Amino acid sequence: MTATDRSIELINAAAQAAADRLAHDIIAYDVSDVLSITDAFLLASAPNDRQVKSIVDEIEEKLNKELGAKPVRREGDREARWILLDYVDIVVHVQHSEERVYYALERLWKDCPEIALPEDAVKTRGKAEEHAKLNPAGELDGDRDGDVF
């Protein structure tokens, strides 16, 4: 069994939306062979809580506007350290960089096939390390209050 065309369409739109909001290390896995509850996972990270929320908001808006998809569940808004959007066909995880390293979801799903993503999303791989070296406080473009958008 493989992810459906609809799942792939949702994953690609979500990945592009995440990349548009400067998420890093965006990756998607086809988990349809090992899970019966969803077809695919999308993982993305951000260096601060505000950006995590901004990425999630952009994903939700883009999927609703362009594909008519609304999440059946949204969890983690309060702390904005790890927000999960459950669209049934796909599950989107946007994590603060620290949570991403600590929970290492890639380790859990490394045996599942990766889903090809838009070029903008692929270019985000490895950006977390680059960003941490340039801005250890998790700031973007010299923004001192952490407000990225």
- Look up the pTM and report it: 0.84
Rounded to whole angstroms, how far apart are CA atoms 49 and 21?
Answer: 13
Look at residue 143 and tell me whether its pLDDT is greater than 50: no
pLDDT classification of 134: cutoffs 50, 70, 90: very low
Instruction: Of 6-15, 40-49, 92-101, 123-132, give the lowest mean pLDDT range.
Output: 123-132
Backbone conformation region of residue 80, classed left if phi is above 0, alpha if psi is from -120 to 50, else beta: left
Rounded to whole angstroms, how far apart are CA atoms 23 and 16?
Answer: 10
